[in-house]
Structure 1
Amino acid sequence: MSNARSDVSAFEFKSSGLKLLTFVPATLDVAVLDAALQQRLGGREHMLSNEQVALDFNQLPQTPTAAEVSALMAVLRNYALKPVMALGGNDAQQAAAQEAGLLLLDEETRVAAAAATPAPAPAPVAAPEAAPVRAPAMVITRPVRTGQQVYAKGSDLVVLALVSNGAEVIADGHIHVYAPLRGRALAGARGDTSARIFTTSLEAELVSIAGVYRTLDESLPASVKSKPAQVFLDQDNLVIEALAL
């Protein structure tokens, strides 16, 4: 099969109505998918480790065989993802998925399940409660080198040294880098839209807040390039602005 499709466009992750992560492959070339997963997730320890996923075949240009579906499932398992069911696609694609051992979920069942979910009852008026306590911040004192990934699960991440090009720092909360940030920084990794990225020298390849990302290969304004800056979400817009330190 052709490798013409770039690694970064070989697949995408989407949230499904069942609160189950959906993997949407655009190719069945396992080499392309493996390279794309390695680029996006790194090794077996990442922000999606041990997540169950549904395979969505709607963007596949061809009908897979059961063997090809099994190979795709094996690639996902190599990255600590657990394929459990299939949705979308035509009858032949669904038959191949079922033969490979996946459960099937058609769109009608999915819609019916969503409709049958009762709306939550209004919360009773009560005295204000204390905000949940976030786990202690992870503090990294050594440089994060090219190819390394650091993930602060359930907490903020504080880095007191250089984040090199090709390195990746991820946090469910805020990210603070008190040194040049030259790699990729992903804050609010599990959907916290209030998370922010702070650095004393913004030189990043990519920044992301709650899945909204921007590559910074293009020229940054002189007001923030290699200077103190913060990154945050304003509604659905990613904002990068200077910090006065």
Structure 2
Amino acid sequence: MTIDSEAAMSNCYDIKSADLSLVALVLKTTDIQAISRALLRQMTESPGFFEQDPVIVDVGFIDIEQHAVLSLGLINLLSVLREHGLMPVAVKGAQGELLSHAKALGLVDASDARIRRSVAVAESIEEAPVHVPSPPAQPLSLGPMVIDKPLRSGQQVYAKGRDLIVLAIVNAGAEVIADGNIHIYAALRGKAIAGARGNTEARIFAQAMEPELISIAGVYRTSENALPQDVLGQAAQVYLHSGPDGDKLRVLPIKP
């Protein structure tokens, strides 16, 4: 082999680290048909919610005794996920036969992957409230979606790849979702999910903060954990704070 050919081969590729945003599908059942129906319902309510997103199949909530059952239906599960726009690339929490079967189907063992779970929400700062400027948001390809009518129970709005602006009340039982920020110039009494695809810089703003659920990049809080009195029913914002104890939502009043 000549020196020139050796040099050409050495320039064929480089090995570099890379970041990839992944979706985690946390399974709570081995019933593949039930999973298929649930995904179909979500796709009907939010068309295009999944667009070839790489996904980790997390089986950590499945009983060990059910692993053998799931392994029998793993091929069907992967087929269902692909049909609904998800691209399974890894499995988390699998053991024994299920893990071997998953690897044989081309899935990577992602046992060390960190999946965001529900965490306690930090209380609002007790010092005199100050306005916290929003950090630069991740670039969004579209302008904001604007909704100018009240949202009733059972209605859902998803602003894919952009911010969402709601000019009317979001009633209990309604749900607003955005890949970017959510601005509600009225009462928020339903669910608000910002940074739906992992944008940790997203925020939620509401003129009257009374939510059933608030979530940013998968970290959420429900109404079972009541908001402090200085933000409940008041103009407030929600943002994600990362610290030594993990990611927490902070809720701050918005003062003139």
Structure 1 position 93, deviation (Å):
1.0
For residues 232 and 218 of structure 1, the distance between their equivalents in structure 2, rounded to whole angstroms, comes to 17
- After the TM superposition, which residues 84-233 of structure 1 pair with which residues of structure 2 at under 5 Å, given as runs? 84=89, 86=91, 89-97=94-102, 102-106=105-109, 135-233=142-240
For residues 223 and 211 of structure 2, the distance between their equivalents in structure 1, rounded to whole angstroms, comes to 6
1:28 aligned partner: 30
CA contact (8 A) 2:194 2:204 kept: yes
What do residues 120-144 of structure 1 show as CA deviations (whole Å, max 9, x unaligned)?
Answer: xxxxxxxxxxx95753111111222
For residues 164 and 147 of structure 2, the distance between their equivalents in structure 1, rounded to whole angstroms, comes to 8
For residue 53 of structure 1, the aligned residue among 40, 52, 55 is 55
Count of residues in Structure 1 that have an aligned counterpart in Structure 2:
207
- Give the secondary-structure state (helix, strand or coil) at the position aligned to 1:207: strand
- Give the secondary-structure state (helix, strand or coil) at the position aligned to 2:78: helix
**The 10-residue stretch of structure 1 (187-196 or 27-36) with the greater mean CA deviation from structure 2:** 27-36
1:126 aligned partner: none
Q: Which runs of 5+ in 1 are unaligned?
A: 1-16, 112-130
AA in 2 matched with 1:72: L
Structure 1 position 168, deviation (Å):
1.4
- Give the secondary-structure state (helix, strand or coil) at the position aligned to 1:64: helix
1:73 aligned to 2:78?
yes
Structure 1 position 69, deviation (Å):
1.8
AA in 1 matched with 2:183: H
CA contact (8 A) 1:44 1:79 kept: no
Aligned CA distance change for structure 1 residues 147 and 34 (closer, same or farther; 3 Å): farther
What do residues 36-70 of structure 1 show as CA deviations (whole Å, max 9, x unaligned)?
Answer: 76898874536444313243445532223554224
Same amino acid, percent of matched pairs? 43
For residue 240 of structure 1, the aligned residue among 228, 231, 251 is 251
Structure 1 position 80, deviation (Å):
3.4
**The 10-residue stretch of structure 1 (90-99 or 170-179) with the greater mean CA deviation from structure 2:** 90-99
The structure, 1 or 2, with the larger RCO (C-alpha pairs under 8 Å, 6+ apart) is 2
2:4 aligned partner: none
**The 10-residue stretch of structure 1 (181-190 or 24-33) with the greater mean CA deviation from structure 2:** 24-33
Structure 1 position 155, deviation (Å):
1.8
AA in 1 matched with 2:94: G
Aligned CA distance change for structure 1 residues 168 and 88 (closer, same or farther; 3 Å): same
Structure 1 position 92, deviation (Å):
1.5
**Structure (1 or 2) with the larger CA radius of gyration:** 2
After TM superposition, the score normalised by the length of structure 1 is 0.67
Structure 1 position 232, deviation (Å):
1.4
For residues 147 and 79 of structure 1, the distance between their equivalents in structure 2, rounded to whole angstroms, comes to 22
What do residues 183-229 of structure 1 show as CA deviations (whole Å, max 9, x unaligned)?
Answer: 11111223332221111111111111222211123333332222211
- Give the secondary-structure state (helix, strand or coil) at the position aligned to 1:103: coil
